[in-house]
Structure 1
């Protein structure tokens, strides 16, 4: 049951912002197979960037990822 003391507000959003949000949502995985495919691509990207030791640390839960520019890599 809604209280009489609650108020409502109307917020107008720019149509470009709404279109961008809709386009973003279309890219998100919607089925289990799409989620697994997404994870596979993410894992492939990580494997290409991490050393074997870093991969083992990450998979064991003992490591963490910091995204940024690595020294010495171009």
Structure 2
């Protein structure tokens, strides 16, 4: 099963690359599939590629659902 996770673009590092952060972890990602990516945008990330821009409210709602699922399964909640 594949899963795309909503993340926020923290900064651009090149014409098609940037840095995102999630739960305190920063990672370089490929932004070549995103039209006009900007710091602060939320995108769906899959296998190191941003595949779609998403609305901030939708992104935060999805992240909250992930947190709830982890709690129900007894997993550790992300910071």
Q: Which has the higher contact order (CA 8 A, sep 6+)?
A: 2
TM-score normalized by the length of structure 2: 0.29
* TM-score of the aligned structures, taking structure 1 as reference length: 0.31
